[in-house]
Structure formats: structure tokens, C-alpha cells
Chain A
Amino acid sequence: MKKKVLALLTATAMTASLVGCGGSADTTNTAETNTENAEETEEAADAEESTEAEETETEGETEATASVGELSYTTLSLDDNKDLTATIKFLHHKTDREEDGTIANMIAEFNKEFPNITVETEAVTDYAEDSLLRLSTGDWGDVMFIPAVDKSDLATYFMPLDTLDNLSAELNFVDNWQFDGVCYGIPYMANAQGVLYNKKVFEDAGIDKLPTTPDEFVADLQLIKDNTEAIPLYTNYAAGWTMGAWDAYVGIVSNGDNTYANQKLVHTKEPFADPGDGTGAYNVYKILYDACANGLIEDDYTTTDWEGCKGMLNRGEIGTMVLGSWAYAQMQEAGDTPENVGYMPFPITVGGTQYVNAGGDYNYGINVNASDDNKLASLIFVKWMVEKSNWCYNEGGYTVVKNGQNPEMYEAFAGCEVLSDQPALAGEETFLNDMNAESELSINAGGNDKVQRIVEAGVTGSESFDDIMADWNQKWQDAQEELGIDAE
């Protein structure tokens, strides 16, 4: 008996110690590697920064010749490095394009110019999360689409590509991953925010000019209702996130100010007040309310079907849908009449100009820990992809290269001012998130139910639009007070 007890006790003790050991050993290991990595990368980053600084200094006087030591996007010449030999790996999220061979075709094209650079690719399905894990292990390859890392950590993981000043002279939307004036990422394509419409429905309804103000838009919706069988505005209420998409027009589109969404909004006392001139967030949501109140939306909004609506827009059963440009290609593919799918700027005119909010999609980033040859090869690859692959154009993206060719879908955007949102001010990066959470309005952050409320109120007449806006203003102010954020 005694022996048995002893055995039991020792067994428990051993398992316990085993568990303890395993745990502690693991943590110490990772801690060690982490600090090692951090040290290394810090050194590397320091080195990079100093070269960067030198470069910007010398650039003004003499044209700096790009060499492996001082890489930068703008000074890199694709023609000088045709015989470079390297093998690089590209980690990306476009699983569909990997499968249909688009990426392989682009690399084949690339290899015609750079026969000795071998590009391996890997498409990751759950990219947003998996790429972060891969990034923290350090073993992910040479080029990747930058996942959601803190900007202050950029230098730890990614090679500086160029200064913001140099890069923004040649490319659009490069400020998304800039830190202290240095860019670490370049978008592979960009999206613009507008309105999807069916050209044939507009024609049948007798609309010969695209609407540019909320009043014109609602009048056009009425025309569609009167003259055609189509649903004038499909809300996609049931899907939820499609309603939250209305938030994208707060800011640049509705007031032409590219510092509004990320800088001024949190300090605005009444962001939903009516400016009285058909602009501002008030009038963005007012369009939706008016459309609902006048019966210009689908009959039963609670059972809308996102997959089904794509074909309906394509076939001309839906007049308009308010979604980003990324949805355009899907609508075209969903039926037999892709030529009828159109895209137009959001119908708000600020001081005589229609503004378009465009922003970069995922950004190419280059591993800071890669060998010098691989860094050069990666930069060549990125530059080639951005400027020569036509990927952005083929995906229906807004051009990343300044004055590059835009896909046909943006023809209605000619004459519009295209801006992209400026990042939050230093020290205020968390303000918008905090305000969104505290006020529960979640602007551009999944605040679907607040927009659904507009639809419900518009259809049933349970609340007036001004009451809803006043309520939102109140919530916004309460949150400002709670968080101690100054408001004007």
C-alpha cells in the first residue's frame, strides 16, 4: 500500500514538474530568440536609417547611383540589374489569383526581363491572421503584403523602401505604411469609394446625366421606380456589413477634407449636424433615409441576399448599390451583361467639386532580415510588379502609379478630385478607435446596426432623421467627455 501511494505521489510530482519544465523552457527559449531578433533588427534598422539619412542628404546634390548598400525605390533602375541572380519568396493573400495562374503568368513575364531571379510564391488563405504569425517567426520569405502591425514596429520587420517625399512624387497612396517620413510599403492596387449602378436601368429610367448631389440622386431613384421594374436602391440590410459601408463616405467624399476622418472627426463636437449645403455626413445618411422613406428600396429588406444581389444588379433588377470599387468586378462576373455595370462617384458636391476617397489595398513589404542580394532582387520585383505588371489595372484597381492608366470603370471619375485619408496625428492614433468603442457608433469599424437603424426608421417612420442624427451627436459628445478628448 505504502509503495502504491509513493508511486502515485511521485507520478503526480513528475507530471507536475514536467509540465512546469516544458512551460518555462518554452518561454525562456522564445524570450531569448525574441531579444536576439530585436537586437539584430535594431542594429539593422539603425544601419538602414543612417544610410537612408545619408542618401537623402546626398540626393539633393548628385544623383545617387543605386547600389546594394543604399537601396531605394526611386533610385533603383530596372535596366541596370538584368543579370542579378537570386531566389526570392513572395507571400500573398490572393489565393484566387494563385489558382487561376494570374500570378504565375506575371512571374513568367517578369522572368523574361530578369531570367536569373527565381520567384517562389505562397498564397495564404487566412492571410490577416496567419501572416502576422509568420511575421513573428521571421521565417516567411522576402516579399509579403504587410499585415496589421504597429507602425512603430515597421522597421523591425520591413526594409525602408524610400522616403515619403521621394515616393509620393511617383506613386499614389504610399503613406499608409510610412513612419517618420520613411515608407515601408507600396500598395499593389487601390480602391475608390463610389456607387455601383446599372447603366441600362439608368438609360431606361431616362437619366442622361449622373447625379452629383443628394437631391439629384434621390430624384433619379424616383425616376427608376416610376419608369422601370428595377429596385432603385438595394440596401443589403440583412448582410449587415454592407450597411456599414455607408460610413466610407464620411470625410473626403462628403466634405473634401482628407484630414477629417482620421484627425478632425474625433475632435468634432457635432459630426452629424446638417451643414445646410447638401454636404457632410448628415447628407450621406440622409440619402439612405429619404430613399427608405419614399419606398425606393427593396420590398423586404430583412431578407436581402448578398450573393443574389450581384446577379440582380448585373441583370438590371437593381438600379444602384452603395459599395466600394472592389465590388465592381464581382458584379460584372455575376451575370451575362457585365457591360451594364457602372461605377460613379458618390453624389455629393462640395464647393463645385466631387471628391473621391481612394486608398491603397495591401502593401508590398520587403523583409529587413533578407540578404543584400535578396533585398535588391525583392525591390526589383516590387518595382516591376507596381509599374510593369498591370496587376492593379487588371484587378480594376485605382492606379497606384501617378498618372497611370485607370480601368474603364473609373471613366465617370474624370474631373473628380481623388484624395486619400491622412493618418492620425502623432499621439492620437488610438483616439478614433476609442471614440468608436465608447460612443458605440463604430464609424468605419463595423457600426452596421446604426445604419440599419436609419433604414428601419425611414421605412416605419418610427424616428425622424434629425432625431437620429441628434442622438448620434449626443453619443459622440458623451464619448468625448468620457475620454477627455477636446472638441470644437
Chain B
Amino acid sequence: MKHKRSFKEWIRSRDGQQVLVMLAFMVVPLLLLFLFTYLPFGKMFSFSFYNMKYVGARKFVGLKNYIKVFQRKDCFGALKLSLYYMLGSVVQLALALYLATILSFKVKGGNLFKGFMFFPFLINGIAIGFIFKFFYTRGFVFDTVLQWCGFQLENLPYWLKDQRINNFSLVGTSVWRYFGQNMVLFIGAIMSVDSELYEAAMLDGANRFQQFKYIIMPSIKTIITLNVILSITGSLSAFEPPYVITDGANGTGTYFVVMHEIAHTQQKVGLASAMAIVLLVIIFMATIAQKLFFKYVFKNAEDEDPRAAARRDKAIARSIKRQERKAK
């Protein structure tokens, strides 16, 4: 006869002890996660329904802050600037993938180049801002270098003043900073590809480009997807280059810079919190859209899709049946 264990007995048993140990280990990280991530987020979410400053009285205003976010020109207008940064991230990823592919084969001084190109990522973002502020100053580094190449100073644009190109200048700094990091991630992924595949491909007479297209690309698609998602999310929340280099002035104020201005200079904490929540939703949607997109892009590799294999099996079975019927 099986006797039902009491709680006391269960806690003393091996199962109970396991659960207890599990809980004891989980409590600390979960507590930290809750305390430093979810609690502040919850607070911010509730702030977004108030008209408030950091100090002083709060007034509940319902959805008014959210309506304002959609009505104000500067909030959503700033999101347009994200397009520049998205364009930049495409260039950045293409460049990183290209260099990673080259550097993952045997190249003279490969490690040196890897080091050089990864180096910008190690510099502090604020320092990069100051470097590029001088880099783009009229008649300074960039203009001087271009003049060596034969350009006339009068024909060169004002890199930060001209509103048609100043966002490209800023995006340039962000590409310069991050492509090394993407590249290193790609190299890591490419290294894990089995080298026998290259040998087999070479025996079949595949050139480097074909190797890239049919071996490397499919093998590292997870890491590509990840990098694309991170870059797009990053472009939606671009902050450091415009904040440090131009202080968000002259038509370079991205969504984050506008949010910072509203939260800290104007002290409209409720409105800024609402902006943050709206941005979160946008990033969620962008991520989901990308997930779906990549699902279709990488669909052609048949063995990646179990349903395709099942369909093929069914088709074979059907044709066998048909033949059998014919034979009868």
C-alpha cells in the first residue's frame, strides 16, 4: 500500500531537498533581477501615467502622456533619424561579414588586422565622441586628410553643420566603432565551420565566393540574425554619437536624445517614461518582424525545415502508391 507522504517527510526526502537547494540558489539572482530590472521598469511604467517631476507632487493623468508622445512632432520625428542608423548598420554588417570572411582564411598579419579593427570598440563611447568632434571640425583631421587626396577645402561640406549630411557623419562614427565587434563575432562563428567542408568544396571546384555562399552563410545564419537584430535595436536607441558630438542640436536629436532632454532638462518624467515605453513596444515589434523575415530568408535550405522533409516523404510515398496502382 502506498502511503501519502506528509509535507515534513517530503521536505526531508531527496526530491524535497532538491527543490529546496534549487530555490536557495535561485533566490539571489532572481531577487537581484527583480530589484534592479523589473521593479524599476514597473516604477517607470507607473510613472508614465503621471504628470510629475523628480521631486514634488505627482498628478495622475491617465493616458495623456502617451497621447502627447504621438502628437508631438519632436518625438516621432526623431524616430526618422533611426533610418540613418539602420542604413549604417546594414553597411556595418556587410563590411564586418566581408572582412570576417577574408580574415578567417589564412591571411598575412591576420591577427594584427583583427586587433586594429576591434580596437575602436574598446574605446569609451564618450571619448569617441570627443575624437570625432575634432575629426569633423572644419579644417581639422578629416578635411586635412581629404586635402592630401587632392580635394579643395572650399568644395568640402561642413560635416556637422550641413543638415543634409551631419547625420551620416554621426552614423559613420557608430559604424567605425561597432563593425570590429561584429567582425569578431562573425570570425568566431566562421571558425566553428568544419574545415573538411571547404576541402570537399574545393575538390568539387567551388571558388571562394561559392564557398561563402553555400558553406559559410548557412552555417553562421544564427549569428547573422542575432547581429542584425542587435544592430536594428541599437539604431532605434542611438544616443552617444549625437549626444556627445552635437548635443542633439542641428537636426541630430535622436529619440533617445529627445527623451533625455525631456526627462532631465524639462523634468517631465512622466512624458519621458511614456516615450520609453513606446520605444520598447517599437523595438519589440521590430524584433518580431525581423524574426519572421529571417524565417523566410533562410527557408531554402531544405533540411532546416522539418516540414519540407515530411512533404517530400509524403510525395515519394504517393508516387510509389501510384506506381503500384499502375502496376496492378
Contact = CB atoms under 8 A, between A and B. Distances in A.
Interface stretch (B100-108, B109-117, B261-269, B294-302): B261-269
Given A302-B161, A446-B265, A237 B12 contact: no
B166 interface: yes
B269 to A, nearest CB: 10
Contact of A302 (B20, B166, B261): B166
B63 interface: no
Nearest to A8: B24
Nearest to B262: A440
Given A8-B24, A437-B53, A303 B261 contact: no
A362 B161 CA distance: 38
A442 interface: yes
A459 B163 CA distance: 11
Interface string A285-308: 000000000000001111101000
Nearest to B158: A300
A442 B12 contact: no
A305 B245 CA distance: 12
B252 to A, nearest CB: 9
B160 A302 contact: yes
A459 B160 CA distance: 14
A237 B267 CA distance: 23
Contacts of B249: 237-238, 240, 302, 449, 452, 456
B247 interface: yes
B325 to A, nearest CB: 69
B186 interface: no
A305 B130 CA distance: 11
B268 A300 contact: no
Interface string B158-199: 101101001000000000000000000000000000000000
Given A1-B12, A303-B133, A449 B261 contact: yes
Given A238-B246, A240-B247, A452-B250, A5 B265 contact: no
B266 A442 contact: yes
Contact of A437 (B17, B24, B140, B267): B267
Interface residues of B, number: 29
A209 interface: no
Chain A interface size range: 20 to 34
A152 to B, nearest CB: 15
Contacts of A440: 262, 266, 268
Contacts of A452: 249-250
Interface string A428-472: 000000000100101000111100100010011000000000000
Contacts of B11: 5
A112 interface: no
Contacts of A446: 265
Secondary structure at the A interface, as helix, strand, loop or mixed, is helix
Contacts of B247: 238, 240, 448
A437 B246 CA distance: 23
A460 B133 CA distance: 21
B152 interface: no
Contacts of B24: 8
B88 interface: no
Nearest to B14: A1
B20 A5 contact: yes
Contacts of B261: 449
B49 interface: no
B241 interface: no
Nearest to B53: A437
B256 interface: no
A480 to B, nearest CB: 16
Interface in A294-348: 299-303, 305
B246 A302 contact: yes
Contact of B265 (A300, A305, A442): A442
Interface in B252-294: 261-262, 265-268
A303 B141 CA distance: 13
B326 to A, nearest CB: 72
B137 interface: yes
Interface in B1-57: 11-12, 17, 20, 24, 53
A449 B247 CA distance: 9
A240 B134 CA distance: 17
B161 A300 contact: yes
Contacts of B239: none
A487 B53 CA distance: 24
Nearest to B133: A303
Interface centre among A300, A303, A448, A460 (most CB of B within 10 A): A303
A437 B266 CA distance: 5
22 contacts: A2-B12, A5-B11, A8-B24, A299-B138, A300-B137, A300-B160, A302-B160, A302-B166, A302-B246, A302-B250, A303-B136, A303-B138, A303-B161, A437-B267, A442-B266, A449-B248, A449-B249, A449-B261, A452-B249, A456-B250, A456-B251, A459-B161
Interface of B: 11-12, 17, 20, 24, 53, 133-134, 136-138, 140, 158, 160-161, 163, 166, 246-251, 261-262, 265-268
**3 closest cross-chain pairs (CB), A and B:** A303-B137, A302-B160, A300-B138
